[in-house]
Chain A
């Protein structure tokens, strides 16, 4: 197994378990390269990677941009403010326009679920979903899996609690699927107003709790989601203060965790909401590790989708 079985990465379930492990293995090689003084590889020289971001994003876009540059691809940013879509051009037309420019790989971030699929129908390029609406964000899940695997040596059997706005979170959408595919046990911890209608869709290894304190002592990973105030139409909880009291984590709750348990967060953190400032500072090494791993994982996906072989990296 030395290539991905999927042509695009739109959903975690586009990948097999083997695909996921291959990506994580390749990412590990790239992560080592990222620690070197000269971080550039010639492997994607002459290939064009378009960052097609229709939603404001700095962190993810920059991560993809750095990943493309480290592989010597020509990276182009096609951002919402500068794009034709602001002038009323449809996604189909924009995709066909980009296709006519012969791109090799397109990373799309859009506020509407399913939009990456529209690109696959209108372009020859490989597509990576950089986050679509409330649906999926597979590269975030891959970098999270990478981080957990580096920390614990394996994913199988880990107990992971995901806390926060599960219903509106594409991060959770992908992470839950990735974790269950690799054999972890997941507890979704949130008020009922922040849960999707049917969490049982994810299977028997996923459970639900409304009381973080009940679950906390069991967990290997406490994954805190950002409360995305911009994506919540009707206030699903009375106040940030009450949310922080019921579901937020500070030093007190941290003390209840297993000694080797870790706190993760996709960033950016709302200090004082899902995590207190003290908790952020205590967890910060790992949160920044996630960011660092993000570049390596994205390099790995670009490399593999454009036909690279794992054994070709060692230069």
Chain B
């Protein structure tokens, strides 16, 4: 059956498209795009999307779906519903599950779950080192055969430089990127907030910017000697951005991502309430860092936005700040934050937002591009750019409600999501 999406503003910088169009979807593909009224459909469903924006489906390349092992926080089904609700057609899930996704069986398990329950495309990142211990290589070749598309020890930095070099050397043969969580444990130790004013003010153990930057610099050096594509995860400091900029200028295959919480929150937001939803790793940095990240995203030094969606149960976050786990959920607020603050706020073009949220993740991961052109897969994100809405715990599709943005008013929200032509989200409601 065919689907005719009418009168949306269709935007895709990959094909230099920005116009009100009708889009005909058939057999999971975009069958035709044309001016309103010029696209005919013999039979099928029509949908008027006047006032909405239609873009290539967004992808979040940093998501914790928590399955297997922590299904009480999130699972493939709930995480993919959250992704659909947030406007994403694809996510990449991280391997720090229980057991760790470090062999072919675990990769296959998640992919099977995704085929059974997911509303969105779920891609899997395997562990870089066995058990995320940073000591021995994982079976990357086996995992690639089972469908893994990237490797990472996300949640921990690889402490031994020789080990990191071996891992990047080894990963290179599979033509997959290594996603690096940069954290020097000697410097960071048990730090929970940025080293500086906030650690002094709140009497909390400090997590210095240098603890991240040292490993970014090291991994860039290892990228140069191994030739393996390096993707720096959740970059959070201005100097980290400078290091990535220099690496790119030198022609190295280095990319990086930034989270919405590092883009729009900073250490000043932490106060005597010790809100554990603001405890994340890396920690919220200074206001200057935050502004530098916004600029770098706008300029494209930062390639993409990734949420580091990190669900934790209410009882885990309702602890003393130093005991609560790190992380905030992010899938359902990312679009509103980036669109509202940067695009509607006049700091970034809509085309750039699409480049950072739809195009770059697939390019970094070596996936087929999703374009708004005839014959392309119909992975589509449609959002209302004018809607103002308030982030409320009870509205999340995610099993966990630990959002750093609760109570905030956002501008822009996904209304419809299509994955291979099938609706995952329709009129703001997840299709089950």
Binding site for B on A (CB under 8 A): 10-11, 90-92, 110, 112-115, 117-118, 132-136, 170, 173, 196-199, 201, 233-234
A115 to B319, CA, bound (A): 8
Known A133-B322, A198-B196, A234-B189; further 7 A-B contacts with Cβ < 8 A: A112-B323, A113-B202, A113-B274, A117-B274, A170-B203, A196-B199, A196-B200
Chain A residues with CB under 8 Å of B273's CB are: 114, 117
Given contacts A133-B322, A197-B206, A233-B189, contact A114 B315 (CB under 8 A): no
Residue from A110, A132, A170, A201 within 8 A of B200 (CB atoms): A201
Asked whether B202 lies within 8 Å of A114 as measured between CB atoms, the reply is yes
Asked if B195 is an interface residue, CB under 8 A from chain A, the answer is yes
Interface string of B180-217 (1 = CB under 8 A from A): 00000000011000011101111111101000000000
Closest to B323 in A: A112
Q: List 7 A-B contacts (CB under 8 A).
A: A90-B318, A113-B322, A115-B320, A118-B274, A132-B203, A133-B322, A135-B204
Closest to B208 in A: A197
Chain B residues with CB under 8 Å of A196's CB are: 199-200
Residue from B204, B315, B318 within 8 A of A113 (CB atoms): B204
Asked whether B319 lies within 8 Å of A197 as measured between CB atoms, the reply is no
Residue from B195, B272, B274, B315 within 8 A of A90 (CB atoms): B315
Asked if B321 is an interface residue, CB under 8 A from chain A, the answer is yes
Chain B residues with CB under 8 Å of A170's CB are: 203
Interface string of B146-161 (1 = CB under 8 A from A): 0000000000000000
Chain B binding site: helix, strand, loop or mixed by DSSP?
loop
A23 to B199, CA, bound (A): 29
Asked whether A136 lies within 8 Å of B203 as measured between CB atoms, the reply is yes
Chain B residues with CB under 8 Å of A91's CB are: 319-320
Asked whether B203 lies within 8 Å of A134 as measured between CB atoms, the reply is yes
Asked whether A133 lies within 8 Å of B319 as measured between CB atoms, the reply is no
A173 to B321, CA, bound (A): 18
Chain A residues with CB under 8 Å of B272's CB are: 10-11, 114, 117
Given contacts A10-B272, A113-B321, A197-B195, contact A133 B203 (CB under 8 A): yes
Residue from B197, B199, B321 within 8 A of A112 (CB atoms): B321
The 4 closest A-B pairs by CB, nearest first: A135-B203, A114-B274, A112-B320, A134-B203
Asked whether A198 lies within 8 Å of B197 as measured between CB atoms, the reply is yes
Asked whether B196 lies within 8 Å of A197 as measured between CB atoms, the reply is yes
A92 to B317, CA, bound (A): 11
Chain B residues with CB under 8 Å of A136's CB are: 203
Asked whether A114 lies within 8 Å of B206 as measured between CB atoms, the reply is no
A199 to B318, CA, bound (A): 30
Closest to B321 in A: A114
Asked whether A92 lies within 8 Å of B322 as measured between CB atoms, the reply is no
A11 to B189, CA, bound (A): 26
Q: How far is the CB of B35 from chain A (nearest CB, A)?
A: 57
A162 to B253, CA, bound (A): 51
A91 to B202, CA, bound (A): 19
A249 to B320, CA, bound (A): 37
Interface string of B320-331 (1 = CB under 8 A from A): 111100000000
